[in-house]
Amino acid sequence: MPITVGTLGRLHAVNYRGRDVVFSFKSSELILTSVLPNVVRHTWTPTHWRLYTARMTDSYAVSRDTWPTGPIASISETPETVRVQMGELCIEATRDPFHLRYFAADDRLFLEEVDAGGLSWSYWEYTLRYRLAAEDHFYGMGQANQLVDH
């Protein structure tokens, strides 16, 4: 069992960066990019020097620098939550502790992080945990080819 050294913790801010929505934390950012009306790309980027690692040089993953332009996101905030509407999807986040829930256009909850928080990391691995049903499917998973510019 790995020793966990970090989780996202408390959400400090949420902003637009171009068409992306950026959730900012003490030592990282979670970037949501709308790709299609029902597809959102998630990119987690450590910003703390202890979490940053050098660029991956050898990978069999297909590198992609550009993505289709999906629907424009809208952000609504309360003191406790942030809701991001991206096309047919609504992503709701609690601020402290940060916790994600995903809703379809009919307001049906279809995906949620585990209670302890979905994203955590240790010295040798990253972990992303959601509550899943047998019929759930994901496209992608993993960022082995991600280039992080610092």
Q: pLDDT tens string for the chain (150 positions)?
A: 455 566 778 899 999 999 999 999 887 888 999 988 988 888 888 776 555 555 555 555 556 666 677 889 999 999 999 999 999 999 999 998 888 999 998 999 988 888 776 777 666 666 777 888 888 777 665 555 444 443
Tallying the residues shown for the chain, one arrives at: 150
Token output for 43? 């990119």
The SS3 assignment for 14 reads strand
Q: What angle do CA 31, 37, 39 make, to 5 degrees?
A: 50
Contact assessment for residue 52 and residue 62, using Cβ atoms and an 8 Å cutoff = no
Contact assessment for residue 107 and residue 114, using Cβ atoms and an 8 Å cutoff = no
Burial of 15 (0-12, 13-18, 19+ CB in 10 A): exposed
Beta partners for residue 36, in sequence order: 39
pTM recorded for the entire structure? 0.77
Q: Distance between CA 129 and CA 115 in Å, rounded?
A: 9
Q: Given this model, what pLDDT does residue 69 score?
A: 79
